[in-house]
A and B are shown apart, each in its own frame.
Chain A
């Protein structure tokens, strides 16, 4: 870590590096480890937040672009069931399917035909 903390001006410039521009590497490296500068950046961020778009709008946009698809949970449950089936985890499978362990086993591995 560099001994000297970057000036407030440099911190602010780093914070507001425009998209596509290269951030000041020295500042970048320093602030990742320096609590004092992290606190100063926090203060700068709070002070200038009103100039920028409100945080809640970032939240809304993130919700939009990262929205889970419909039916996700059911699909995941089905996929896990299939994975357990492949692993022959009958005990858990039985619990998931709401049947007895023996029933789960029979569903997966039907008994061999009895020889006559």
Chain B
């Protein structure tokens, strides 16, 4: 049975520091499930697989929590685990499915129910997102949805700052381009 030592230094850096193990896990689930899922889905492109990644990430984060040093925000730290878990899940999946054409298609976007024009624009946007490399997708999600600074993204993904900036600018261009007709 593992114990979660809670040192006084951790209090204040870890919002979960004072809680018992079960409560820590519940807080992690409540606070980070959605953000983890978005990062995961942007990489694995399959909703069911994204849920697997979300679960794995939360368990890993919870187990590693005693070693969390507070060098970054807890959120950045969790999302870094999410990114790495999604990438390794995708690699395993690609190994299993030798034929890249058998990669799971993303389910039709359920939330787009408005009109056909919107749907076409979103399909275009989804295609543009799919065409980005995995890293660019994560960078864009961390920037646009998590509102992380360039420095935070560099820390979260362990990348040089120029890589973060340049991939982001170009990825955003491509995505914007795909949205040009959607207005």
Contacts and interface: CB of A to CB of B under 8 A. Distances in A.
Interface of A: 14-20, 23, 31-35, 37-39, 41-42, 44-45, 52-53, 55, 57-59, 61-69, 72-73, 75-77, 79-80, 83, 89, 91-92, 94-96
Contacts of A38: 161-162, 165-166
Contact of A73 (B22, B30, B47, B175): B30
B179 A57 contact: yes
Contact of B59 (A44, A53, A80, A95): A80
B21 A53 contact: no
Nearest to B168: A45
Interface stretch (B6-14, B68-76, B79-87, B139-147): B139-147
Contacts of A95: 20-23, 25
A61 B140 CA distance: 12
B42 interface: yes
B148 interface: no
B162 A64 contact: no
Given A61-B179, A73-B29, A80-B25, A42 B169 contact: yes
Contact of B131 (A19, A80, A92): A19
Decide if the interface of chain A is mainly helix, strand, loop or mixed: helix
A91 B20 CA distance: 11
Interface residues of B, number: 55
Given A38-B162, A67-B111, 7 more contacts: A17-B170, A32-B163, A37-B166, A41-B165, A62-B129, A66-B37, A77-B29
Interface in B2-42: 20-23, 25-26, 29-30, 33-34, 37-38, 41-42
Given A19-B128, A31-B162, A80 B109 contact: no
Contacts of A75: 51
Contacts of B160: 32-33
Given A14-B170, A68-B33, A76-B29, A91 B21 contact: yes
